[in-house]
Amino acid sequence: MRVLLLGGTAEARALAAELHPETAVISSLAGRVPDPALPVGEVRIGGFGGVDGLTRWLRDEAVAAVVDATHPFAARITANAAVASARARLPHVVLARPAWPVGEAIVVDSDLDAADVVVERGFARVFLTTGRSGSAAFANVDAWFLIRAVTPPDDVDLPPGHELVLSRGPYHYADERKLLVDYDIDALVTKNSGGDMTRAKVDAADDLGIPVIMVDRPRLPAGVSTVSNVIDAAAWVRAL
């Protein structure tokens, strides 16, 4: 049985390893990150050409099921996969890692809303961790930003006052706490990505009394089936 696994996350790599070699898993990566961590088994890199392209690809490759284990904020591919799977009449499930508890965080709907909060609250030194595409919303904000991303923003205006740090998780509590203190950070802006790889910054900020501005994750397409962990996703595939 051939299964398309939309990946690029730690959960996707773990699921590919869990199913290998009993299931022919084709892991698909968007190709936006240079030198990505690759899963075991067959890997394809790049887009499909929207819903129509993905639908054709699923049929041409005789795929039997689709597992979407992309990042919680990869809304476009998640929406396309739901529609294409329905058109191809294939079983489809989303591996949706649980969101972080928001606690005392200021929850907003978008990067632009987060930028508005920074301005309204008068934060001066902000740790910005919304990824390379999220930095543009803060280009005209009069504050200093420590911007952390896996790859540099492409053709995006950055705030005049900033330092760019390129790194990839997992991150650890002691290091995150030291970073917040050393840079005299007075606000953290993050997406509610969930998972353990990047949670430490939120815990450290909470313990230091630093306000957290958290961008809420986009809603999943209506009617999709979901599982919350790798074991349940593997069980879903095996049950087919």
| 139 Cβ contact list (under 8 Å, min separation 6) | 156, 157, 158, 159
Task: Using alpha carbons, select from 41, 55, 9, 58 the residue that is nearest to residue 194.
Answer: 9
pLDDT over 80 at 40, yes or no: yes
pLDDT of residue 33: 75
Please state, in angstroms and rounded to a whole number, the distance separating the CA atoms of residues 186 and 212: 9
CATH class of the 2-98+218-239 domain in this structure: alpha beta
pLDDT of residue 155: 62
The CATH number of the structural domain formed by 106-215 is 3.40.50.2300
Task: Using alpha carbons, select from 147, 170, 168 the residue that is nearest to residue 158.
Answer: 147
User: For 66-70, what is the mean pLDDT?
Assistant: 98
User: For 182-198, what is the mean pLDDT?
Assistant: 96
Tokens of 140: 């005209």
CATH 3.40.50.2300 intervals, the chain? 106-215
Q: What is the pLDDT of residues 7-23, one digit of tens each?
A: 999 999 999 999 999 99
pLDDT of residue 225: 97
Averaged pLDDT score across all residues of the chain: 95
% of the chain beyond a pLDDT of 90 = 88
pLDDT over 70 at 129, yes or no: yes
pLDDT over 80 at 51, yes or no: yes
Q: pLDDT grade, residue 70 (50/70/90)?
A: very high
Q: What is the pLDDT of residues 142-163, one digit of tens each?
A: 999 999 998 887 667 789 899 9
pLDDT over 90 at 134, yes or no: no
Q: What is the pLDDT of residues 91-128, one digit of tens each?
A: 999 999 999 999 999 999 999 999 999 999 999 999 99
| 200 Cβ contact list (under 8 Å, min separation 6) | 171, 172, 173, 175, 176
Q: How far is CA 79 from CA 45, 74, 217, in A?
A: 19, 9, 14
pLDDT of residue 153: 79
pLDDT of residue 158: 87
Please state, in angstroms and rounded to a whole number, the distance separating the CA atoms of residues 46 and 30: 5
pLDDT of residue 197: 92
CATH 3.40.50.720 intervals, the chain? 2-98+218-239
